[in-house]
Chain A
């Protein structure tokens, strides 16, 4: 599915260069839920940009399904991003002046063919993240958790194989965070690849594999035998609130 081999990434030119990633290699198979961890400055975001096709490695190989990504031009990469990858950002990155529905429909504009049922699809995506009643609200009328759910609906609209999330709960309170992770869990069960970049153990423990970066290299790549289940945790949380 995703295959990175000996990836280097160097910023700068001439003498003043910083090598952010050194010889990164890993594979992610269909249906995996991976957390990429590391302290700040270890190259997490750079790695996410590479995996998300927003940037190209200085050296190394990257295959995404049948595509040799390194050789693709900007246009091909854009189309691939549009079809294969759903981004979820820490800052949500919604358009302020468009309502939830329009935000969710945004990736469809850049699709090869604009689907005739665009609006229905966007509505379904919003229903899937529990925002059926907030479709016509602009982002400033929504809570952080709701905004992030709009962003997830937007990531899902083109039915991508990969969900790529950069600190998705970083700007949320813990309850909203759990809600987001519960959605990820559900998407994972649908067979999608989930890649979450985080420095937070509480987030990473929901994945079934953790890759730890240190100084631009993979320090650790381990499976989690018993990942936490955000869906159950959310139910318990709701029950507790119900009791008190």
Chain B
């Protein structure tokens, strides 16, 4: 193949000027590496968020203690979210099916069956199971009577049950948290990893009143969780019901907590459309900025490539004249020089792509990011880099092809 022979000539010329070839390649290499890394990481982040969003039930509104925006976690230091708030929400907000209050403490020490371990304590009301759509596997759960009497009872998650009792039947046995002894009434169904990415079966459920008075010695809640009837219904005002309801909850809590905006909220409201908005905003702002930067580096790389090629053409006028005298057509010269630029670009893309992957894998290792991949996006990056390579190569190649052998051989 003639074109292969011509390309080979171009590659030979590159190999004899390795440093020059490296500088020609640098822009493409860095640009592609950066774009690849951005692609894998933003795809990974988007995938992770999408998983969370899909796990997040779309009829649930959660009010966390502590301010913040987007997908927040309850803050332990905030003591202003009270059971009375939950009651007020239940009484005053329309279209709610269930409202349940939770106070949680993570990493408490628990003893039982002469073993000891750490776990997360969730103090709940009986309707928690329905709100969470998470039910009892064995035995029975917390009852209204338990709440009324501040009964010293509990329900174990699958993990903690396994850790403390192994194969034994734990129902009716006792565990101890702090100096409070709790009788095991039931076992929760195993659930695996939850929306927050934490192991959800590492938990113990306690009646809310028992936990607040006897275990935590506090008045306040960690969060209030509620379900909305027909959350997607469009209200007469044109709003989506779940967003409307969330807003009503916000206003009610403003009143109850004596907050006037712009004063900062001491609570935060999470629901599915906020989680989805979160995904969109993350994948937009940062990613767009990074893509613009990496794209610029590709373009600058293309300009450098073009200039080095132009200098190279000027340096090699004699060689070009000689090749023309020996029978090279204008087209042959054009192809040889264009393929020189292209070869550099292709090698830059390959090394850049590999480097990008290595960088993203390292980032994942040290920053706990997750990576994803989209061959479509990667193809787009490659295409973009190739186009810039071709664009930068055409002008020098045309100049080389236009040279008159008579002029150049002197």
A residues contacting B by CB (< 8 A) are 49, 52, 54-55, 74-75, 78-79, 81-83, 87, 89, 93, 95, 97-98, 106-107, 109-111, 114, 154, 158
Contact = CB atoms under 8 A, between A and B. Distances in A.
Taking residues whose C-beta sits less than 8 angstroms from the other chain, chain B's interface range is: 20 to 34
Given A75-B329, A93-B318, 10 more contacts: A55-B405, A78-B324, A78-B327, A81-B327, A93-B322, A95-B322, A110-B327, A111-B327, A114-B5, A158-B327
Interface of B: 2, 5-6, 9, 12, 16, 318-319, 321-332, 404-406, 409
B329 A74 contact: yes
A74 B333 CA distance: 12
Which 7 A/B pairs are nearest by Cβ-Cβ distance? A82-B327, A110-B327, A78-B329, A97-B16, A107-B326, A54-B405, A93-B322
B375 to A, nearest CB: 37
Contacts of B325: 52, 54, 81, 87, 93
Contacts of A75: 329-331
17 contacts: A49-B406, A54-B409, A55-B404, A55-B405, A55-B406, A74-B329, A74-B330, A75-B331, A78-B329, A78-B330, A81-B325, A93-B325, A95-B319, A97-B16, A98-B12, A110-B327, A110-B328
A81 B326 contact: yes
A36 to B, nearest CB: 17
A111 B332 CA distance: 11
Contacts of B331: 75
Contact of B5 (A55, A93, A97, A109): A109
A95 B325 CA distance: 13
Nearest to A52: B325
A107 B16 contact: no
A107 B327 contact: yes
A58 to B, nearest CB: 13
Contacts of A87: 325-326
A52 B330 CA distance: 17
A55 B406 CA distance: 7
A97 to B, nearest CB: 4
B335 to A, nearest CB: 11
Nearest to B321: A93
A54 B324 contact: yes
Nearest to B330: A74
Contacts of B322: 93, 95
A93 B318 CA distance: 8
Contacts of A79: 327, 329
Contacts of B9: 109
A52 B405 CA distance: 11
Nearest to B15: A97
Given A75-B331, A81-B326, A114 B2 contact: yes
B409 to A, nearest CB: 7
Nearest to B322: A93
Contacts of B330: 74-75, 78
Contacts of A106: 323, 326
Contacts of A54: 324-325, 405-406, 409
B319 to A, nearest CB: 6
A158 B327 CA distance: 11
A79 B330 CA distance: 11
A154 B325 CA distance: 12
Contacts of B2: 109, 114
Nearest to B332: A110
A101 B324 CA distance: 19
A194 B70 CA distance: 87
Contacts of A114: 2, 5
A79 B329 CA distance: 8
Nearest to B401: A74
Contacts of B319: 95
A58 B172 CA distance: 113
A159 B401 CA distance: 26
Contacts of A78: 324, 327-330, 332
A132 to B, nearest CB: 23
Contacts of A74: 329-330
A158 B406 CA distance: 22
B5 A89 contact: no
Contact of B327 (A49, A83, A93, A97): A83
A213 B5 CA distance: 41
B409 A89 contact: yes
A49 B319 CA distance: 17
